[in-house]
Structure 1
Amino acid sequence: MAEITVNPNAAAPAAEEVPGPWRDAWRAFHKNKTAVMGLCIILLFIVIALIAPLVAPFDYKEQQLMDRLKAPSSTHWFGTDDMGRDIFSRVMYGARISLWVGLFSVIGSIVAGTALGIIAGYFGKWADMIISRLFDIILAFPAILLTIAIVAILGPSLQNALYAIAIVNIPTYGRLVRAKVLSLKNEEFILSAKAIGMKNMRILFSHILPNSLTPIIVQGTLGIATAIIEAAALGFLGLGAQPPEPEWGKMLSDSRQFIQKAPWTVIFPGGAIMLTVLGFNLLGDGLRDVLDPRMKH
């Protein structure tokens, strides 16, 4: 009988990498060039927002009236505004405000909308009727007009603008989650969980919520872009950030009378808004293509 020799120095076969939905999603996302481009744009503005106090060449509040409306130069890369303030420094600090408002207003909308959507979809009956009618009432008004009305009632400020943007966008996430819950609650794994006596709260947090994350993530990413535009619109109307805060929309409002005389006062904050919104839209579209099974070919 032939003997089988084993080489002790032979390398053990590499363990196969266990596939998973999130790992597969990351691989697909990594292949989506437009989504990666959007992520790079967002990361760039996040870095700018974080390092603004360290690298901004001037204080964003510093006024030099002798240097008002100076064209871009080696001293003032983006030029100066009508108060002689350095636009490059103000755009850098403005990234902190726009990203902060966009992120936290969407987080507030997601938390409130998800909670209401789960209650309406899972428990139904009178809870669903009340919550759905509340969503219908909010959606009956144009979003920007309702946002303006809420800020006008609360008072012009950046914080109140954040609250208004969050409130107006709650139905978007609430209806999205409600529809997802309605499709999930009659699935076999949910019915099995009920049959073995699992409590409703555990079902909601262990099964319903995790399976509802995909549309929330996609809509939330796109929602940040919308929130940034709404914050800029409120700032343009004087209802958002108040002077001397360097909010991009407010910068556009203050510079609109100098469009012909000093176009750089409008070009750079407007370009910052455009690039940031573009980044989140590209990322959101990429996530939708990756996470939504209906988009896969």
Structure 2
Amino acid sequence: MKNSLQIVAEPVKVVAPKKSLWIDAWKRLKKQRSAMIGLTIVLFFILLGVFAQFLTSHPYDGFNTDKILISPNSEHWFGTDDQGRDIFSRILYGARISLWIGFFSVIGSIIVGCYLGLIAGFYGKWVDTIISRMFDIMLAFPSILLAIAIVAVLGPSLFNALIAIAIINVPTYGRLIRSRVLSVKEEEYIMSSKSIGMSNSRILFQHILPNCMTPIIVQGTLGIATAILEAAALGFLGLGAQPGEPEWGKMLSDSRQFLTVAPWTLLFPGFAIMLTVVGFNMFGDGLRDALDPKTK
């Protein structure tokens, strides 16, 4: 009896190429109408600020005593203020200031907060205790009061307001990344990196930090809206932008006495603040859902 050799061909498995996390997140983000509306609003104000000099025919600091408190018309779309300055021009140039403070204060908060959070979560023990108690002390004060105290020490100015806003938001990012580090550092690949003698700094910045950036990016997007509001509050109190600077909060402060006789002097700056904050909040909420692994 002859032995027969039977060969069974196994089906070839086709492995689909891995998709990037950010490509998948962008696809999910595009499906969220509110997030795309928020992104459109944000980009709109960014473009207004960047191209302000090309979109206005009046200087933002041009005084004209013959055109004081003129209501909106074809020449001055948003009217003029109590010194005859074109409000439309000041709104556009004010977008530069508000977005500049929002972006750079958040970047500063993220850099300092992430560094402290990484150290606290990775080393633990007394290092974690000292940094965590420092965060608790800062969070015990209302943020706007702490910002006022910092600006009062440094002196009223836009740059000092930016520093104050960055400082008061450090604990938010520090505590967030600390909690992520506490869970990530227990992963097997971190243990393997330690076992082969990899330095702590390399483990922190090449392995742990990249795996903690998703919540930081989401919180940073939402934090820009908060920073814009805080900058407007400091400007309203006279601790941020100084007289003559086209900052939205300062514009509200200068125009509050004209609420009944010239309401447009408050309406347009207030609407610009509201719309920008809503845009960042809508985009941040959508970004959080898009980057959430549970939505995959």
Question: Which residue pairs with 1:277 in the alignment?
Answer: 277
**1:124-180 deviations in Å (ceiling 9; x for gaps):** 112111111110110110000000111011111000000000000000000000000
**1:197-256 deviations in Å (ceiling 9; x for gaps):** 211111111110000000000000000000000000000000001011000000000001
Question: Which residue pairs with 2:122 in the alignment?
Answer: 122
Question: Which residue pairs with 2:51 in the alignment?
Answer: 51
Segments of structure 2 that go 5 or more residues without pairing to the other structure are 1-14
**Cα shift at 1:278:** 0.5
Question: Which residue pairs with 1:199 in the alignment?
Answer: 199
Looking at structure 1, the residues matched to 134 and 219 of structure 2 have their Cα atoms a distance apart, in angstroms, of 20
Aligned counterparts, 1:5-44, within 5 A: 18-44=18-44
Question: Which residue pairs with 2:131 in the alignment?
Answer: 131
What's the TM-score, normalizing by structure 1?
0.93
**Cα shift at 1:16:** 6.5
Question: Which residue pairs with 1:218 in the alignment?
Answer: 218
Looking at structure 2, the residues matched to 165 and 39 of structure 1 have their Cα atoms a distance apart, in angstroms, of 23
Looking at structure 2, the residues matched to 251 and 208 of structure 1 have their Cα atoms a distance apart, in angstroms, of 44
**1:260-294 deviations in Å (ceiling 9; x for gaps):** 11110011000000010011000100011111224
**Cα shift at 1:19:** 1.7
Give the SS at the match of 2:36: helix
**1:86-106 deviations in Å (ceiling 9; x for gaps):** 000000000000000000000
**1:96-122 deviations in Å (ceiling 9; x for gaps):** 000000000000000000000000000
Looking at structure 2, the residues matched to 150 and 199 of structure 1 have their Cα atoms a distance apart, in angstroms, of 37
- Equivalent residue letter for 2:34: T
**Cα shift at 1:66:** 1.1
Looking at structure 2, the residues matched to 109 and 219 of structure 1 have their Cα atoms a distance apart, in angstroms, of 11
Question: Which residue pairs with 2:257 in the alignment?
Answer: 257
Aligned counterparts, 1:235-250, within 5 A: 235-250=235-250
What's the TM-score, normalizing by structure 2?
0.93
Looking at structure 2, the residues matched to 80 and 196 of structure 1 have their Cα atoms a distance apart, in angstroms, of 68
**Cα shift at 1:189:** 1.2
- Equivalent residue letter for 1:153: V
- Equivalent residue letter for 1:31: K
**Cα shift at 1:194:** 1.0
Residues 1:162 and 2:154 aligned together: no
Looking at structure 1, the residues matched to 16 and 52 of structure 2 have their Cα atoms a distance apart, in angstroms, of 45
- Equivalent residue letter for 1:56: T
Looking at structure 1, the residues matched to 114 and 19 of structure 2 have their Cα atoms a distance apart, in angstroms, of 29
**Cα shift at 1:54:** 2.0
**1:173-200 deviations in Å (ceiling 9; x for gaps):** 0000000000111111111111122111
- Cα 1:17–1:191 change in 2 (3 A) is closer
Report how many residues are paired. 282
Give the SS at the match of 1:209: helix
Looking at structure 1, the residues matched to 215 and 248 of structure 2 have their Cα atoms a distance apart, in angstroms, of 29
- Cα 1:44–1:17 change in 2 (3 A) is farther
Structure 1 runs (4+) greater than 6 angstroms displaced: none
Question: Which residue pairs with 2:90 in the alignment?
Answer: 90
**1:8-43 deviations in Å (ceiling 9; x for gaps):** xxxxxxx96642211111110111111111111010
- Equivalent residue letter for 1:111: I
State the superposition RMSD in angstroms: 1.2
Q: Which stretch of structure 1 is more off in the superposition, 244-253 or 46-55? A: 46-55
Give the SS at the match of 2:51: helix
**1:27-78 deviations in Å (ceiling 9; x for gaps):** 1011111111111101000000000122211111101111000000000000
Give the SS at the match of 1:69: coil
- Cα 1:77–1:124 change in 2 (3 A) is same
Looking at structure 2, the residues matched to 54 and 16 of structure 1 have their Cα atoms a distance apart, in angstroms, of 49
Question: Which residue pairs with 1:79 in the alignment?
Answer: 79
Looking at structure 2, the residues matched to 250 and 273 of structure 1 have their Cα atoms a distance apart, in angstroms, of 12
Residues 1:143 and 2:161 aligned together: no
